[in-house]
Structure 1
Amino acid sequence: MSIHTLNLHLTAVTLAKYFEAVYPELSPVKPDKAKINEKSAGNSFTGNKNTSPKQKQKALTTLTGENATSRQKEITDELLRAALLNGLDPKHLYSSISQPVSEGSAAQLVGLVSAEIGFAIKVDEDEKILREAGNLQMVAYRANLSQDFRNRFPKVYAVRTEKPYGYIMEKFEGTSFAKMLWPRENDPQLNAMVMDNILSLLFGAYLSSVNANLKPNIRTIYLGRIDERLKSAAEKSSEFKTLTEGGLEINGTYYHAPHEYIRSIENNIDKLGVSFATFVHGDCHPENIIVSVNKDLQPNIRFIDPKDWLEGDYVFDLGKLCHYLLATGPIQKSEKKPTPILDLLKRQISYELDNSGTKTLVEKALAKGRSFAIKHNDASFEIRYLLSMASNLLGLPVMRLKNKERDAALILYAEGIKYLAQCSEALNK
């Protein structure tokens, strides 16, 4: 990890105190002065002339924490000044905190949600941090997406493009959809409402961004991903290398080696074509969906961490959402995580996977997808969904192996092979 790595989560109150100490002319405590005057616009703020370097360092230490280096503090201050010049308005930093309105899990969720504006500051020497900021900025400027949808992604206020890189962005208050579902589902009715809202937002974005002049590359999106990720997994584990080289009996049913299914799908790739592209989030699993609940117990949905897909196949997003609901979540987040029994010599694996609690949510997603596909003459939707599930599941073992999560890697692989087999069989009918 880089010595410059910094990940701050700040509340409006924290920033207000900092501005009061260092930039009092912009402090939200003094709303009549909380504006950028003509002389300061376009330039760095000089701040309070009466603030000594020692006082400023103390304020920065309070903001960034005792363990932050002087360089991290300097970059944090630089990003904050840039954010102010880019339109971050200190007058809007304060707001009230929501209170629980009744008993029950939904009320507890309301109680956890603060209406204070939150901020996140990230600093790192790795260029990936610039891609993160760039992906959010791309969504913000997509003219074929509604303003309401774009506002559901964090706003980036400032980016540092020199090493060490960094950016400051809006931080949404709430809880991830994944935490509402696992380790145990607390409120099925609320979760169903959340799922309806998620699907309405996503398919609204797909509808507004349909591009008939661009056709997604199915081979690259799905088969290329499977091949690349499985090769990487095999390089990390000799056990996995042996596993991927041949067939496997999964819970009593025999499946061929993945390369056989891939070759079969390759031979029928023309049947999987789709005549249009849409906006694609690229990583819209439940951990990247933030939910807050208002006093009327109505959920508000926000999205984080989009990938750098300008346009692609909307079914990839559907697979990203559903693979988590049917496999990844139950495997890794449930109270009783399944344990696989693998006999590599006999090429057999067995395990119990309970995803009964989320199947109704997946049914909602598939119903929405089928309706969209019918309206847009997307005849290969059902088979691409199977391929998307396989691609997403088989893309995960390499990271699980890296994190020493062997059991999860094995079950995710087995579940992915099952979907890959279904896709191959459907194409050969």
Structure 2
Amino acid sequence: MADIVSILAEQISRVLLDQQFNPNSSVPNSDIAPTSSGKSKQINLEASGRIVAEDLIREALASGLQLSVLKFKDRSLTGGNTAEFVGEITLSVPFVLKVDSNTKKLSEEAKVIRTIKNNLDLPVQYRQSWPEIYAIRYEAPYAYLMEYFHPSDGWVSMENLMYDKKFGKTGDVIFIRKCVERFLSISFIGARSSINNRLIPNINQDYISRIKERLTMASNKDNRFRSVRLIINNVEYNPWRYYLDLIESSQTKLQLIHPPFSTIVHGDPNPGNILLNLNSSDLDLKMIDPKDWLTGDYLFDLCKLTHFISVTGPVEHPINDTPKVLISDIEGGYSFDYKTDYQHWTNEIVSVCLGEAEKFANQNGDENWEIRYQLGMASNLLGLPIGRLQKINRLESAAICYAEGIIWLDRFCKSLQELKNEN
């Protein structure tokens, strides 16, 4: 145990030191607050790292963290040793350590997973599709220990299977479809078993506010994302605030597309957060890195998957060269011109996802799910540019996600207006 604690303490201390010595960092006040000298600060942080490590390991071992024999070595009998045999055992402890000094969401993420794993009202198959959480720290530095899924045991992310050629699956539509259907099956098992008609998700908060907040941040970062006139691949669109004002004035009809229930949700099931085991006959699946929501609109999860398959994945994992975007000044705004290469299976896989959503919606009285799906796609895509603008050399990705999100937002507003005319 001592070696485990030392390794953990070193890693945790490194995170804390990086945060504390970073002038842009804003670490909450705690027992690891900065001291007057850098040297004493480092000593305090290293000590704090060891304390955190010891706490995590104790909880992990008590929670069932498995120790496996890595090496067994005979040792000679010496001195007055009367034992028949002496051996030295080296133990392996496979787990993932996640640490964040700044945000409580990390701990809440782990709490969500643990809550799902411990909820006996959920089907076993669904609960088994989440990792074990061995230990959680609920104060700064926030941290948790999670079950590790080693590539040597056959674990690969769905994202890598879809887009990384070294796995040899990128062109195999039958296999890609099998992977996606496996996830959809597990996801809807969870949704069906957790329908709550008394807890209704708020699409103003979950979708519309997200668009406004994220685009405001993006426009403050880069003027080309301001609410101005747009021409996207030779088609004209309105400024994004125009669409938000239109939605705001249509609150009565917006109520018609609210989900009639909530379900358990992942919150961020992009293919990078879905692990599949290629060594298992039925493609064992694990979902990692959820949002800290626990419940919400099942379509939000679906949009997370389909926007990645149809937009984000092709942009960030291009078949040929990185997609080129030409942003030009026009009267009163900007023109966005781009072209993206898609995997040949893209439309088929998106259709599979929508087919499962339609089946679930029809079975549970969600009449206007298709219109809400359009809003979900807009919200997810328009929430992405700010993150990409904050990273070097991600303008192409930010611009395409923005443009595609505007297209979905325009489509949604037209559908909402048509719904208004019908009711």
Please say if residues 278 and 312 of structure 1, whose CA atoms lie closer than 8 Å, have aligned partners that are also in contact: yes
The match for 2:372 is 384
Picking from 190, 196, 199, the partner of 2:181 is: 196
Matched, 1:324 2:324: no
Seen in structure 2, the aligned counterparts of structure 1 residues 189 and 217 have a Cα distance that, compared at 3 Å, is same
Q: What secondary structure, in the 3-state scheme, does the structure 2 residue paired with 1:360 have?
A: helix
The match for 2:31 is none
Unaligned residue ranges in structure 2 (runs of 5+): 15-45, 72-91, 419-423
Could you tell me which amino acid in structure 1 is paired with residue 415 of structure 2? A
CA positional deviation for 1:183: 4.4
The match for 2:110 is 133
1: CA distance, partners of 2:221 / 2:391: 11
2: CA distance, partners of 1:93 / 1:380: 55
Post-superposition Cα deviations, 1:39-95, rounded to whole Å, max 9, x if no partner, equal xxxxxxxxxxxxxxxxx59x83599579955643453343222211223243x5679
The match for 2:235 is 253
CA positional deviation for 1:366: 0.2
Matched, 1:351 2:335: no
Could you tell me which amino acid in structure 2 is paired with residue 369 of structure 1? A
Please say if residues 342 and 350 of structure 1, whose CA atoms lie closer than 8 Å, have aligned partners that are also in contact: yes
2: CA distance, partners of 1:130 / 1:67: 18
* Correspondence 1:55-134 to 2 at 5 A: 60-61=6-7, 69=46, 71-90=48-67, 118-128=94-104, 129-134=106-111
The match for 1:340 is 325
Matched, 1:315 2:277: no
CA positional deviation for 1:165: 3.0
Seen in structure 2, the aligned counterparts of structure 1 residues 182 and 353 have a Cα distance that, compared at 3 Å, is same
Could you tell me which amino acid in structure 1 is paired with residue 345 of structure 2? G
Please say if residues 12 and 49 of structure 2, whose CA atoms lie closer than 8 Å, have aligned partners that are also in contact: no
**TM-score under structure 1 normalisation?**
0.76
Seen in structure 2, the aligned counterparts of structure 1 residues 205 and 338 have a Cα distance that, compared at 3 Å, is same
Please say if residues 12 and 99 of structure 2, whose CA atoms lie closer than 8 Å, have aligned partners that are also in contact: no
Matched, 1:167 2:144: yes
Moved more, 366-375 or 212-221: 212-221
Q: What secondary structure, in the 3-state scheme, does the structure 2 residue paired with 1:166 have?
A: strand
Seen in structure 2, the aligned counterparts of structure 1 residues 124 and 253 have a Cα distance that, compared at 3 Å, is closer
1: CA distance, partners of 2:134 / 2:8: 21
* Correspondence 1:200-349 to 2 at 5 A: 200-241=185-226, 245-266=227-248, 267=250, 268-294=253-279, 296=281, 298-335=282-319, 336-346=321-331, 347-349=334-336
Matched, 1:362 2:344: no
CA positional deviation for 1:145: 2.2
CA positional deviation for 1:175: 1.4
2: CA distance, partners of 1:351 / 1:164: 43
1: CA distance, partners of 2:107 / 2:231: 44
Picking from 100, 124, 147, the partner of 1:147 is: 124
Picking from 393, 401, 404, the partner of 1:415 is: 404
Moved more, 275-284 or 161-170: 161-170
Seen in structure 2, the aligned counterparts of structure 1 residues 425 and 162 have a Cα distance that, compared at 3 Å, is closer
Identity %: 33
The match for 1:426 is 415
Unaligned residue ranges in structure 1 (runs of 5+): 1-18, 23-55, 96-115
Moved more, 59-68 or 384-393: 59-68
Could you tell me which amino acid in structure 1 is paired with residue 53 of structure 2? T
Could you tell me which amino acid in structure 2 is paired with residue 230 of structure 1? L
Kindly tell me the number of residue pairs found equivalent between the two proteins.
Answer: 350
